[in-house]
Amino acid sequence: MNPLDQKLADLIGHKDYLPLNIPEMLRALRLSANRQQELQAVLRDFEAAGRIARTKGNRYIPSVEADLIPGRIRMNRAGKGFLQPDDSALKEIAIPESATGTALHEDRVLVRRDVRRAGNRPGGAAPPETGSVVRILERRRTRIVGTLRSSRQFLYVIPDDPFISHDISVPQPRDVGRPARVGDKVVVELGEWESRHTNPEGEIIEVLGAPDAEGVDMLSVLRQYDLPLHFPSNVLQEARSFGTAVQPEDIKGRVDCRSHRVVTIDPDDAKDFDDAICLERAGQDQWKLWVHIADVSHYVKPGGALDAEARKRGNSTYLVDRVIPMLPEALSNELCSLKPAVDRLTKCVEFQLNNDGRVLSSKFYPAVIHSQRRFSYQEVFALLQRKAANPIEEMLHQAHEMAQRIRRARFKAGSLELDFPEMKIRLDEAGRVSRIEKVINDESHQLIEEYMLLANEAVASRLMQLNRPAIYRVHEAPDEGRLQEYREDVLGHRIPCGNLRDRGEVQRLLRRLSEIPIGPALKIAFLRSLMRARYAVEPLGHYGLAKKKYAHFTSPIRRYADLIVHRALFETRAAAPAALKQTAEHISVTERNSADAERDSKDVKLYAFLNAQLASGQPLPYPALVTDVRNFGFFVDVPGLAMSGVVPLSTVEDDFYVFDPARNNLVGRRSRRVIRLGDRVTVQVAKVDTFKKQVDFRLVQTAEDRARAAANPRNLQRRDDRPRGGPRPRPRRGAGAPPRDGNKRPPPRRGGR
């Protein structure tokens, strides 16, 4: 931000500011008349960014005073928008589908806030603020990937992105290097789009090829999310300039930890090892813990080509078949990676702990290590099940016991248990799904996790103590209205649930849910009611971890936020707050972009895998969990595929099912079989819609189902589900679920979590 920008921002943001015109602003800012054009240019920039609004009298006011709020809009698959205001002090604004204008997912927009209606939600929560999009400030993405289609009169492209509900009209492609055929995957440059009541127009700029051609599926994901395949030559040159080994001059001034029993623990296929630990007894009831983090900041300096490219990428992206790294492999997999048996530079957090895992003191310094051993999670889990065979294994046993003490203390302090098993897709040499593995957050993962959380919290505390500008990892408390809706849904299932604004009650509920069949489905609904974690310059704390001070410090090889935090902690030159705020917003966007790309990369492989099952005529059975029930069918989460889908009633052949809105379940007319939230069923794929990115399943009749039907075909409904006298209660809607609107079928949750 240049000096005039800052002076104007200070003037307009002052509590006593009154609307001024340009001559009055010149006087207020003590500028000469010959700087009027410069001031007008800055005002245009402020207005284009949505920070100010111009009144009819050509006076300028802060946008918020005109109920105009700039921010970034996020869409759900039902077309509804949610504005995250630029001003973190403002709450999220809901935008109905009819009021989103031509905004696309992740665009920066200007929203006119509606006048708040009087009244509260049940439970005393204020109704959410609503608004409508009045202007697109910045397109997040102007290039769209889709499938080329043809009508009698024109060509159009159906976007792969399910958040874009409009087809894009395109002329016959020219100068794209290869002919485009109907059905091909193509990249479209989006043109002007004036009204949501008409389709946008665009131009085909690249033809990717037939959807089933080798490599086109992943190339489509790369283009859709604008993920780069290569580094610019100047970035590679800078990365290679450091050589392949730590030099003697690099070690000067560092604490030498090369004699310590330092080890790394990572996934079996990892190559970028950015954290390592060492634990030693320091007395009868005290321990020393060293958390070493790769010193990326030693090599990547502000203003260089490496830094500019790392900031642009924001983070590494882990697709199902490849990694798009934030840094070139010369650094990410080699010189910065804490590989065993070689010297490596680190930033270290050294802790003094008591026997209970409580931090007595901490200090921070540059170090050099020589890792003794690289472990995979599987190896650590196995050795924790047996007696230690050597000093390193003994250290890992001690580190495990200490990590579990720290973990118990963390949950006692209010941290929430929100982990779900993840599924890792393994591909064969041809890029097809060979197997799907469940990854459980077992003791080996927890061993490292607790020490990384400890370091992140300590670093954030130190930065706040030093009062240095930095970027924090924040997870804000959920909206009270959403919590109240979720609580009503839980109570509707006759599960005790107190005031969820009380963290202790949330913990009790989550423990309760872990013990009942319906629990996993309701736990998923709770996750949907939470805010999404993001980066901010304000230390707003982390709701899920119950930490008031938290930053990302432990993964600078793959996250730009951590690199910024390293610099803030160890370098005296402070970054400009305005620049940090822009960076925090940018890397929050790149993180979400990568998460969407990672999920879509899994989806395209899974869709091909399931289509192959359909083509074989022998689709496999999968255990599934019922997560929502509607009048047209029910939604299921299929852990074995790491995805969700719907079972339409049209595919259920054993009976005719009727939706009971009072009980929120489906009841078979003949068999009286009940299908409800939390039921465990067996399904197989019935249909894959790659355009809508959704999968339909059908129920599989297991031997248990058949035996139950034969034994009691007309009385399978549980006693507490039989209709009773009196008025039926209003149906309750699960938190985060689309509204029930007759027979309209809402989109299911995307594959993955």
Q: How big, in percent rounded to 5, are the helix, strand and coil portions of the chain?
A: 30, 25, 40
DSSP assignment of 306-359, as one string? HHHHHHHH-B-EE-SS-EE-SS-HIIIIIISS--BTSEEEEEEEEEEEETT--E
pLDDT higher for 120 or 265?
265
Three-class secondary structure of residue 695 per DSSP:
strand
pLDDT band at 706 (very low <50, low <70, confident <90, very high): low
Contact 260, 278 (CB under 8 A): yes
pLDDT of residue 338: 98
Judge whether 625 and 639 are in contact, CB under 8 Å: yes
What is the structure's pLDDT at 1?
61
pLDDT for the residue 16: 86
Query: Using 50, 70 and 90 to split pLDDT, how confident is the model at 517?
Result: confident
Mean pLDDT of the residues in the chain: 88
Among 596, 609, 626, residue whose Cα is nearest residue 751: 596
Task: Decide if 59 contacts 43 (C-beta within 8 A).
Answer: no
pLDDT of residue 578: 81
Contact 313, 591 (CB under 8 A): no
Rounded mean pLDDT, 664-676: 91
pLDDT of residue 690: 82
Domain covering 67-138 assigned CATH 2.40.50.140 in the classification: yes
Q: Do domains 143-224 and 619-721 have the same CATH topology?
A: yes
Helix 519-529 vs helix 480-492: crossing angle, to nearest 10: 170
pLDDT at 521: 82
Q: Which pLDDT tens digit goes with each residue over 276-327? A: 999 999 988 999 999 999 999 999 999 999 999 999 999 999 999 999 999 9
CB 411 within 8 A of CB 501: no
d(CA 457, CA 349): 11
Range 656-685 average pLDDT:
91
Distance CA 632, CA 629 (A): 8
Parallel, antiparallel or unpaired: strands 129-138 and 93-95: parallel
Contacts of 1 (CB under 8 A, 6+ apart): 9, 576, 578, 579
Q: The CATH number of 619-721 is which of 2.40.50.140, 3.30.2020.10, 3.30.1490.20, 1.10.3720.10?
A: 2.40.50.140
pLDDT recorded at residue 123: 55
Instruction: Give the torsion sign (CA, 357, 273, 640, 686).
Output: positive
pLDDT band at 56 (very low <50, low <70, confident <90, very high): confident
Report CA Rg, the chain. 28
Using one digit for the tens of pLDDT, what is the confidence trace for 389-447?
999 999 999 999 999 999 999 999 999 998 877 888 999 988 899 988 888 899 999 99
**Beta-sheet strands, E only, within 598-669:** 622-629, 633-638, 643-648, 657-660, 665-668
484 membership: H or E segment, kind and range:
helix 480-492
Interior angle at CA 166, CA 161 and CA 169, nearest 5:
105
Asked whether residue 124 carries a pLDDT value surpassing 70, the answer given is no
Can you give the pLDDT at residue 741? 32
Give the domain ranges of the chain: 3-64, 67-138, 143-224, 233-477+534-601, 480-529, 619-721
Closest by CA to 362, choosing from 454, 233, 483, 488, is 454
Report the residue count for the chain: 753
For residue 705, what pLDDT is reported?
Answer: 62
Yes or no: say if 675 and 716 are a contact pair by the CB < 8 Å rule. no
Q: Which residues pair with 605 in a beta bridge?
A: none
Distances (CA, A) of 480 to 121, 232, 427, 486, 506: 10, 47, 43, 10, 13
Q: What is the C-alpha to C-alpha distance for residues 676 and 671, in angstroms, rounded to an integer?
A: 15
User: What pLDDT score was predicted for residue 736?
Assistant: 34
* pLDDT tens-place string over residues 630-668: 999 999 989 888 888 999 999 998 889 999 988 889 999
Instruction: For residue range 710-743, list pLDDT tens digits in order.
Output: 654 444 343 333 333 333 333 333 333 333 233 3
Residue 338's CB is within 10 A of a number of other CB atoms, namely: 26
With contact defined as beta carbons under 8 Å apart, do 716 and 472 qualify?
A: no
Report domain 3-64's class: mainly alpha
Which CATH number applies to 143-224: 3.40.50.300, 2.40.50.640, 3.20.20.10, 3.40.50.920? 2.40.50.640
